Homo-oligomer: A and B are copies of this chain.
Amino acid sequence: MTVKGNETLYRAIRDAVMEEIKAHNIELVQEKDQFIPVSVSARHIHLEQKHADFLFGKGYTFTKHRDISQPGQYSCVEQVTIKGPKSKMDRIRVVAPLRKQTQIEISRTDAIKLGVNPPVRHSGDLKGSAPLTVIGPKGKIELEEGCIIADRHIHMSPADASRYGVENHQKVKIEVDGEKGGMMYGVTVRISDRYALDMHIDTDDANAFGIKGQEYLKLIK
């Protein structure tokens, strides 16, 4: 690629061209294709002990319906009803094990139907999130907060993170093929040795991008 006898000139021009490239916002597209499996989270609820007792009765034992992608977590046979100012939705599945604070994850579509306005949040970040009523077989709870739209995120182990070259809390982009393809921005990487590699999106993202779950999507840093 160099021109014999003119290395200095070659470098001067090469650098000038690269300066131009940067000045005009030309992007270097690095072709390290990196793919991540995706799961679609339907609306669900995580319960704290006190609320589990109140909704299902003290000492109630939940029954596993199905394992979900993260080790030790599973959806339960048990379901609740959630109710907002505009409407209610039945058959909201409980996801176990119990958590420190009750958390309801819904989509924007659900939120509009219920008449609530939850923020887009990381799991567990519930301060100032939306109020909602939860109705179980043994009781009804008026939650002052706890309803969120879960952010787009990717669970991975430290070994995965090293392989993909990403850090905890890093925001990445995810590209989707197909007739409703596109890119999701602001996807948060979450690293823990308790995590299995999986991207989680809600049903709005799934339906907008034509994703059914179990696809592999391209990670772009």
Contacts and interface: CB of A to CB of B under 8 A. Distances in A.
B28 A26 contact: yes
A209 B207 contact: no
Give the bracket for the number of chain A residues in contact with chain B: 35 or more
Contacts of A184: 182
A1 B16 contact: yes
A196 B151 CA distance: 35
21 contacts: A1-B20, A6-B6, A6-B9, A13-B14, A13-B17, A21-B26, A24-B28, A27-B27, A27-B29, A108-B207, A108-B208, A108-B210, A109-B203, A109-B207, A120-B180, A120-B210, A181-B185, A182-B185, A204-B204, A205-B208, A208-B209
Given A3-B12, A182-B185, A208-B209, 8 more contacts: A1-B20, A10-B13, A26-B27, A108-B208, A120-B179, A120-B180, A180-B205, A205-B208
A107 interface: yes
Contacts of A193: none
5 closest pairs, A vs B, by CB? A208-B208, A108-B207, A183-B183, A204-B207, A181-B185
B183 A179 contact: no
A162 interface: no
Interface in A135-159: 151-152
Nearest to A181: B185
B186 A183 contact: no
Contacts of A107: 207
A49 to B, nearest CB: 31
Contacts of A109: 109, 203-204, 207
